[in-house]
Amino acid sequence: MKVAVWGKDLADSYLKYVCQLGADAIDGLPIPNEAGKGYFDLDETLKIKKKIASWGMEINRTSLPYLSENYVKDGDGAEDELEDCCQSLRVLGEAKLPLGRVGFANDTYAWMRKNHTAVHRGGYVYRGEGVKEGTVPPSAEDQKFYWGRVCHAYEKLVPIAQEYGVKLIMHPSDPPSPDAPFGGLGFHRLIDAFPSPSVGYLYCCGTRCQAGGQPLVLDEIHNYGRKNRIFMVHFRNVRGSIATANGFEEVLLDDGDMNMFKILLELRRVGFDGCLQPDHCPRLEGDNDDALQSLGYAVGYIKAMLAALAVV
């Protein structure tokens, strides 16, 4: 297993810092579009890849152009959006990049969300969230229509992914509101509908713990991992869950309900060898908005656990 970090900032100072931390890969890159187009520019993609390689790292995951509310509602220009997504996937393939994240608008239900600021040890603060009382998910008919739009996109994307050797990854709905499209049942439905080895998951430990705690996370890693459908992992911790407390709070890696070493043991057991990405890092004392101190803590924590994993 390797460690990836966000690539929101490709400045040399940031790449130098994460290289010093020992990161193996950069994740979630901002790739420019071809001039006047809605899809990635191949030359710019290759330049970014070369720059990251100059710091001894590789590109892990790139997010494909987001399929908007207009797409999921099948509005005017929806097919143009999808074609831009398809062409961007081809660019990833031509650049020999391994993972493309597919994203759809409205995969969470904003009207059901109840937010608060959670205060933790020493006063660090981070996201807290629950489900508003009296709110309901979309109708079964609307959910069926949404799923049809997801399938329509995957019908176009999967053959391209197979041809170019890129793996498509889906993140679970965050938060995991009741009946969210990519919650427990909808998430699994994706590989049922598209059994290609090119289709799988960006498995987020935190999001799925928010749904049902560590037992759910361990069970899902076993389920998806033995099917070889976990292509990367968001490695973060939380307290509480919607199932047990009607809410959750995000925390530092050592400060939540999950024993993160148990997560690593299960990932190793199913043969996962991809990237772990700490994803959300709460600001610590002295941090700016970039939370670089918190990122350093997270990377160090993960690398220490990987070192321990090697001897047990």
Look-up: residue for tokens 């959300």?
Answer: 280
Average pLDDT over residues 239-247: 94
Quote the pLDDT of residue 311.
95
As a whole number, the mean pLDDT across the chain is: 96
The CA angle 251-257-262, to the nearest 5 degrees, is: 110
CB 167 within 8 A of CB 195: no
User: Range with the lowest mean pLDDT among 5-9, 19-23, 172-176?
Assistant: 5-9
Asked whether residue 300 carries a pLDDT value surpassing 90, the answer given is yes
pTM recorded for the entire structure: 0.96
Domains of the chain, with CATH numbers?
2-10+100-309 (3.20.20.150)
Closest by CA position to 206, among listed 121, 298, 292: 298
Asked whether residue 12 carries a pLDDT value surpassing 90, the answer given is yes
pLDDT above 70: percentage of residues in the chain: 100
Run of H or E including 214: helix 205-226
Quick: pLDDT tens for 44-80. 999 999 999 999 999 999 999 999 999 999 999 999 9
For 88, other C-beta atoms within 10 Å of its C-beta total 26
Average pLDDT over residues 269-295: 96
CB 46 within 8 A of CB 31: no
pLDDT band with cut points at 50, 70 and 90 for residue 30: confident
Look-up: residue for tokens 């603060």?
Answer: 125
Quick: pLDDT tens for 145-200. 999 999 999 999 999 999 999 999 999 999 998 899 999 888 999 999 999 999 99
Asked whether residue 29 carries a pLDDT value surpassing 90, the answer given is no
How many alpha carbons fall within 13 Å on the CB side of residue 203?
Answer: 29
